[in-house]
Amino acid sequence: MLRACLSRFPLAALAAVLASAPLAAQTTTPAPAAAQPAAPPPLSVSGLIFGSYNYQLSTTPAQLANQNDNGFIVDRAYLNFRAPAGDRLSIRVTTDVYQTTEAAANAYTIRAKYAFLQYDVPRSPSGAAAFARLGILQNVVIEHIEGFWPRYLSQTAIERAGFFSSADVGVAAGYTLPSKMGELYGTITNGPGYTSRERDRFKDFALRLSLTPLANQVSTPLLQTFTITGWGYKGAIASSFVNSGAGQVGAVGKALDRSRAGVFVGLKDPRLVLGGEFAMRHDGGETGANTAASPRVETTTTGRVLSGFTQIRPFAFTNGTGKSPFGIVARYDRVSPSTATTNITTPPPSDNSYHNLIGGVFYDVNQRAQFALDYQESLASNNGLSAAPPAQSKGYYLHFMVNF
């Protein structure tokens, strides 16, 4: 009997151990927690502020109006807000604080510079990528040129000459070429620019192709950023007689041409920046009162801009680091508002060109702040006292710029 009990005991003990094993495993090794989805990146806030102290010189024998020949100015204060908006979607809103030129009581006011939704296509292994935008967005080429020229010193040549605004309301698409070879960017916009509401039913179409053919030439680092850009802008505006009126022969629904095109060549190295630009504009207009006694006549005006600039850090070429906080900046624009006209009774002279000249030195306080001491003038091409530029000016400036 004792032998029978002993023979049954190991079997019973083994059964008890096997039965308790799963329970022990559950109590000693907890199951892994379910994976939590990655949190979206937080709201990103950045900004840029720039301004100057300027001392204006008289361009005529008469004194400046109200003796307003010196002052401190905050030219712009941009606040950038970026945030994800779901899978592959993001938003950007940029506020623009600027000095008021309208008949308003306040000296500075705020408006939207950019406000768009962007959809990004995943980047391919070759580096190709694409995106689409909707809202207040970058115009075809001005921001691209500002990648070479410091905006805090002056607007780019074509923006300063009134070709078009730097931003507008519409849609845009961009494509980054494989292997860092450049990009393609196109827009369909209202046309008046981000500072004006839509004025008519016509839309403006623009396309830019920028190529960087030497981007992968590691043996020539100074030329890796060499960029050649071609762009075109086909715009239109409504006739001033679009709604007709008393005594007129009828409404005019035909658009007036507003076309531009240009070529930009640039080089952007920490030691040396070079840029050259040639652009043309073609503007349709009209004369007459659209009546039987004074018929409406279409006119055209063609103009052009030639610009060149440089930023050079001479000490960066001589020290071992290839860096220097000190640099020299220079730019020259030659603007010809009317090289040719048609159907204008008293056309402006074809040599009514003027120039913009900028020259000075700059210093990097750190990686985010820069100061510049410069001289600027906008005068008739012969340095005379004619009123060729939109606003003649000469002056000395102490500019500052801070990114944050």
- Residue 67: pLDDT band with limits 50, 70, 90: low
Residue 268 CB burial class (10 angstroms; 0-12, 13-18, ≥19):
middle
Considering the domain boundaries, does residue 15 fall inside one?
A: no
5 belongs to a structural domain: no
- Residue pLDDT, tens place only, 365-403: 999 999 999 999 998 865 544 445 777 889 999 999 999
Is there a domain that residue 26 lies in?
Answer: no
Q: Does residue 334 carry a pLDDT above 60?
A: yes
Domain count, the chain: 1
Q: Confirm whether 260 is domain-assigned.
A: yes
Question: Is 50 exceeded by the pLDDT of residue 26?
Answer: no
Per residue in 343-361, pLDDT (tens digit) is: 988 877 766 789 999 999 9
Distance of CA 384 to the CA centre of its chain: 34
For residue 166, being part of any structural domain is answered with yes
Domain-embedded: residue 48: yes
CATH of the domain at 375: 2.40.160.10
Which of 74-83, 298-307, 312-321 has the least mean pLDDT?
312-321
pLDDT score at 292: 93
Task: Report the percent of the chain where pLDDT is more than 70.
Answer: 84
Query: What's residue 107's pLDDT?
Result: 83
The whole-angstrom separation of Cα 327 and Cα 362 is 5
Mean pLDDT, the chain, rounded, equals 87
Residue 12 scores a pLDDT above 80: no
Give the domain range for residue 377: 40-243+250-403
Residue whose tokens read 């510049």? 372
Residue 11 lies in a domain: no
CA nearest to 374, candidates 67, 153, 43? 153
Which residues lie across from 386 on neighbouring strands?
Answer: none
Is residue 160 a part of any domain in this protein? yes
pTM over 0.95: no
